[in-house]
Amino acid sequence: MPTISRTFRSFRTRNYRLFYAGQLVSLSGTACQMVALSWVVYRITDSAVALGAVTGLSLLPMLFAPWGGLLADRFDKRRLLIAANAFSAVVAALLAAATLFGTPRVWQLCVLAFASGLGSAVEMPTRQAFVNELVGPEQLPNAIGLNSALFNASRILGPAVAAGLLALVGAGWCFVANSVSFVAVIGAYRRMRLDELRPSAREKARRGQVRQGLRYAWGQPVLRRTLLLVGAVAFFSFNFPVILPALAERSYGGGSSLFSALTAAMAAGSVVGALVVAGRRQPSDRVLLVTGLVSGVLLAAAASTTSLVLVFPLLALAGGTSIAFFATANARIQLVAAGELRGRVMALYTLVFLGSMPIGAPLVGWVVQRFGAQAALGGGGLMAAAAVAVALLPAAVAGRRASVPAVPTEADVATEAAMTTA
């Protein structure tokens, strides 16, 4: 069993502690905004298809994530993160203005959702690649697990704040809260000790760098298989912002409070799952197989019941195994990727994880509209489990395991950087 000291060992690094605190505030604000935006769109239109379209537009800019990853490889990641977060703060302020000073039109929400996604297309791959500069490769799997716990803790805090603000003062103040939350993460980046960072060698500008990243990822079997599997699982089973509002209202006759509670239940389970991953030393195909299969089955079980008493624990367990799957895949990819290409490789992870949803979200919205939220939830879970089984089960049955490179030492990293710049 992982010990507490091993689970939280990345907190020994001051810069990582600053990063973690700033992200907790900022990501909670983002989760608060996502809940409010989903609820506003659904209440205005009474259409799961429209909700899926807006959700898809917010994720569509992830198609540009490879260029965001290239920026991360070419420029100072800390400064790039400050700029991306400042841009997102402005977008959140515009959402607040549109909501507080009248009833927003759907097209306005679509435009601002798309703009918010543009900021994320740069911020997300840069942030994930920046973690290695904070803690180094030895602590990278642990830091990624803690980051996943952070992300899901924000999915508890954010919806809880959103539920209170929606009930007391309305959705506009959720967007205000998100805009203000970016002050915390920008301040954290500015307070970091630059001499304690471990920057990767920066790429010089030349033609074909995005294609270089694509060729590299496709040419590495572990990267190729893991990226494709992440995309498949995200496409089939990770469209909860589309499903849960309809599940709360149509299946259980609830409102925004029940929607927030269902979201928080999944997030609570996800925190536990992420902490379990943080305590492990190495990711493996076996963990991907088990967590992917169990997550899909649990989603199908949650869809098959009509009891709220059972839905909450089933969604919590599904959230825990789901985030364990994605955190393991994330760590696996970062450990395999070469340092000078890590930004572009993590951009591909972001692309397949979130970029598949602009297609999946409207499709899931149509399934919800046509067959119901439970059909969308259960069907997606079973298809995700099937994708995991097809990709990983044959090797497991045959007793073969894909090798995972050992975590590189500082000497390995220095040698790699010297060879790169030679």
pLDDT tens digits for range 15-55: 999 999 999 999 999 888 888 888 888 778 877 777 777 87
Q: Quote the tokens at residue 393.
A: 């089960």
Residues 6 or more apart whose CB falls under 8 angstroms from that of 1 comprise: 279
Better-predicted residue by pLDDT, 273 or 379:
379
Cα angle, residue 184 at apex, residues 182 and 189 outer, rounded to 5°: 100
pLDDT score for 5: 67
Q: Report the alpha-carbon distance of residue 315 to residue 270 in Å, rounded.
A: 10
pLDDT score for 413: 34
Better-predicted residue by pLDDT, 415 or 331:
331
pLDDT score for 34: 85
pLDDT score for 115: 92
| Whether pLDDT at 421 is above 50 | no
pLDDT tier at 177, thresholds 50, 70, 90: very high
pLDDT score for 281: 62
Q: Report the alpha-carbon distance of residue 145 to residue 272 in Å, rounded.
A: 10
Q: Report the alpha-carbon distance of residue 211 to residue 298 in Å, rounded.
A: 38
pLDDT score for 398: 65
Q: Report the alpha-carbon distance of residue 324 to residue 341 in Å, rounded.
A: 25
Domains of the chain: 10-195+209-405 (1.20.1250.20)
Better-predicted residue by pLDDT, 241 or 261:
261
pLDDT score for 18: 94
pLDDT score for 84: 94
Q: Quote the tokens at residue 392.
A: 């990983």
Q: What is the mean pLDDT of residues 80-109?
A: 90
Q: Report the range out of 83-92, 159-168, 330-339 with the highest average pLDDT.
A: 83-92
Q: Does residue 48 contact residue 259 with C-beta atoms inside 8 Å?
A: no
CA dihedral 224, 400, 325, 335 (to 10 degrees): -60
pLDDT tier at 93, thresholds 50, 70, 90: very high
Q: Does residue 332 contact residue 283 with C-beta atoms inside 8 Å?
A: yes
Give the tens place of pLDDT for each residue, 206-219.
Answer: 777 778 878 888 88
Better-predicted residue by pLDDT, 149 or 116:
116
| Whether pLDDT at 412 is above 60 | no
Q: Measure CA 33 to chain center.
A: 15
Q: Does residue 299 contact residue 383 with C-beta atoms inside 8 Å?
A: no
| Whether pLDDT at 372 is above 80 | yes
Give the tens place of pLDDT for each residue, 299-317.
Answer: 999 888 888 889 899 998 9
pLDDT score for 410: 35
Give the tens place of pLDDT for each residue, 159-174.
Answer: 778 878 887 888 889 9
Q: Report the alpha-carbon distance of residue 377 to residue 311 in Å, rounded.
A: 12
